[in-house]
């Protein structure tokens, strides 16, 4: 049986390391597989595992991180080779795994009492179920990364409304600087500003109205498209010839004052310019400051296999990971935020965003809720290159109807 499993993994992926499962530890302790998808978090989880094993000497945790982890996990699911505990990104991948029946239902677990409600709702919306199959652990954020040195030098202030945002861009240009640098040569880089606009302008209720046939993209996306087109006029680079890495480095080198991206870009920016002082603010998509929320999604969700041989031990490890002090240990080096109440991010670069999480002024990534195969970034890329709003809205409605009818 083991040989068959190994052969299956090799044939599918060519990755011996993909195959996991419990192994004999050679003593009386229990060994659990912890399959986690973030290569940049291996050291943080190793440290947490060491701490857990010190407190729980009869439980050993074997961390398994492999390249292309989503493909590996989906492949293992077809062979009923499910890790005892796993992390899953809270996007389309979560929806696929959660509806497969391989995860433990944690809806009534006491840990949910300290999880921020919005993130539980995001996962339930992704799975289309009333049940929760993973605990939101840490979350990311979309926003406007800005050069603090330039802001101080030019006497600029963080805007709270759309009109203030545009006035700020005008002021930056008037002082001889470039407001934004964009790398739309990679279509996905359009998503950060697009999600900020769409999620705040139409809200998550749009997807219910869309599903019920009570609204359409033509009805609600004209303002989104117009504002995204307006922002493009404040760039001064080869927007569609440059990609994410070029844009990160250009912003780090001072070629623009602001940069519309997610917090995940900060590490690469600071690698390029370690002395740079940066901040992040939510993009103000509307003229009602109180309605401009931070766009945030579940970066890491933690799940337990329904059929694990060691449910009590697995739960003990998950309980440990969700303790606020242990979430904060993870956040010390990962520029994310906590989905668990009581754990905060203290990174100076991100401090402007923490109040939004404290006040639960959070909205989700709109692109997580389009149908599978709905290439919204490519359609907006075509529009921004040389299209018209009318053609864009028609294509969005046509694609939605085609994909949602399957």
**248-253 mean pLDDT:** 97
Number of neighbouring beta carbons within 10 Å of residue 21: 16
The pLDDT of residue 27: 65
405 or 274: which leads in pLDDT: 274
Residues 6+ apart with CB under 8 A from 19: 5, 6, 9, 76, 81
In angstroms, the CA 63 to CA 36 distance is 7
List, for residues 148-170, the tens digit of each pLDDT value.
999 999 999 999 999 999 999 99
List, for residues 70-83, the tens digit of each pLDDT value.
999 999 999 999 99
**Exposed e or buried b per residue across 291-317, where buried means at least 16 C-beta atoms within 10 angstroms of its C-beta:** ebbbbbbbbbbbbbbeebebeebbbeb
The pLDDT of residue 322: 98
* Start-to-end CA span in the chain (Å): 37
List, for residues 280-315, the tens digit of each pLDDT value.
999 999 999 999 999 999 999 999 999 999 999 999
Percent of the chain with pLDDT over 90: 83
The pLDDT of residue 12: 41
The pLDDT of residue 11: 41
The pLDDT of residue 173: 98
Q: Which residues pair with 144 in a beta bridge?
A: 260, 281
The pLDDT of residue 335: 87
Q: Within 13 A of 266's CA, how many CA atoms are on the CB side?
A: 23
54 or 370: which leads in pLDDT: 54
**48-60 mean pLDDT:** 98
pLDDT over 60 at 22, yes or no: no
Band (406; pLDDT cuts 50, 70, 90): low
Mean pLDDT of the residues in the chain: 91
pLDDT over 90 at 53, yes or no: yes
pLDDT over 50 at 244, yes or no: yes
List, for residues 122-134, the tens digit of each pLDDT value.
999 999 999 999 9
Q: What is the 3-state secondary structure (H, E, C) of the chain?
A: CHHHHHHHHHHHHCCHHHCCCCCCCCCCCEEEEEECCCHHHHHHHHHHHHHHHHHCCCEEEEEECCCCHHHHHHHHHHCCCCCCEEEECCCHHHHHHHCCCCECCCCCCHHHHHECHHHHHHHHHHHCCCCCCCEEEEECCEEEEEEHHHHHHHCCCCCCCHHHHHHHHHHHHHCCCCCECCCCCCHHHHHHHHHHHHHHHHCCHHHHHHHCCCCCHHHHCHHHHHHHHHHHCCECCCCCCCCHHHHHHHHHCCCCCEEEEEHHHHHHHHHHCCCCCEEEECCCCCCCHHHCCEECCEEEEEEEECCCCCHHHHHHHHHHHCCHHHHHHHHCCCCCEECECCCCCCCHHHCCCHHHHHCCCEECCHHHHCCCCCCHHHHHHHHHHHCCHHHHHHHHHHHHHHHHCC
In angstroms, the CA 180 to CA 197 distance is 16
pLDDT over 70 at 4, yes or no: no
**220-244 mean pLDDT:** 97
In angstroms, the CA 299 to CA 9 distance is 27
pLDDT over 80 at 94, yes or no: yes
List, for residues 183-217, the tens digit of each pLDDT value.
999 999 999 999 999 999 999 899 999 999 999 99
Q: Name the token pair of 32.
A: 């659990």
In angstroms, the CA 148 to CA 168 distance is 14
The pLDDT of residue 1: 32
Please give the order of strands across the beta sheet that includes 258-262: 258-262, 142-147, 278-281
The pLDDT of residue 358: 85
Answer yes or no: are the C-beta atoms of 261 and 278 closer than 8 Å. no
Rounded CA Rg of the chain:
22
List, for residues 172-183, the tens digit of each pLDDT value.
999 999 999 999
Residues 6+ apart with CB under 8 A from 356: 282, 293, 294, 362
């Amino acid at each position: 049986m083991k040989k068959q499993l190994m052969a299956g993994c090799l044939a599918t992926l060519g990755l011996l390391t993909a195959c996991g499962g419990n192994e004999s530890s050679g003593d009386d302790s229990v060994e659990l597989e912890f399959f986690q998808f973030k290569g940049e978090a291996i050291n943080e989880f190793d440290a947490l595992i060491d701490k857990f094993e010190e407190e729980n000497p009869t439980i050993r945790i074997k961390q398994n991180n492999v390249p292309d982890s989503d493909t590996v996990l989906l492949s293992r699911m077809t062979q009923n080779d499910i890790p005892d505990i796993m992390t899953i990104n809270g996007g389309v991948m979560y929806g696929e795994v959660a509806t497969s029946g391989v995860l433990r239902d944690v809806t009534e677990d006491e840990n949910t009492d300290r999880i921020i409600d919005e993130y539980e709702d995001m996962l339930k919306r992704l799975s289309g179920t009333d049940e929760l199959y993973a605990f939101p652990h840490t979350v990311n954020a979309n926003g406007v990364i800005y050069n603090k040195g330039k802001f101080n030098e030019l006497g600029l202030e963080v805007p709270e409304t759309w009109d203030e945002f545009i006035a700020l861009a005008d002021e930056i240009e008037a002082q001889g600087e470039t407001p934004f640098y964009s790398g739309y040569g990679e279509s996905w880089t359009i998503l950060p500003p697009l999600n900020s606009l769409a999620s705040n302008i139409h809200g998550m209720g749009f997807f219910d109205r869309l599903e019920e046939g009570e609204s359409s993209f033509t009805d609600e996306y004209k303002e989104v498209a117009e504002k995204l087109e307006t922002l493009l006029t404040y760039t001064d680079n080869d927007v569609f010839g440059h990609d994410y890495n070029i844009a990160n480095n250009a912003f780090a080198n001072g070629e623009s004052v602001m940069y519309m991206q997610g917090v995940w870009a900060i590490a690469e920016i600071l690698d390029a310019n370690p002395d740079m002082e940066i901040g992040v603010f939510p993009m103000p998509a509307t003229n009602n400051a109180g309605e401009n929320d931070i766009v945030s999604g579940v970066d890491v969700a933690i799940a337990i296999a329904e059929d694990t041989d060691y449910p009590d031990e697995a739960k003990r490890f998950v309980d440990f990971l969700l303790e606020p002090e242990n979430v904060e240990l993870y956040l010390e080096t990962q520029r994310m935020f906590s989905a668990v109440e009581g754990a905060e991010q203290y990174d100076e670069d991100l401090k402007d965003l923490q109040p939004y999480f404290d006040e639960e002024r959070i909205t989700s990534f709109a692109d997580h809720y389009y149908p599978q195969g709905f290439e919204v970034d490519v359609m907006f890329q075509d529009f921004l290159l040389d299209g018209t709003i009318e053609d864009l809205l028609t294509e969005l409605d046509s694609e939605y109807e085609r994909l949602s009818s399957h």
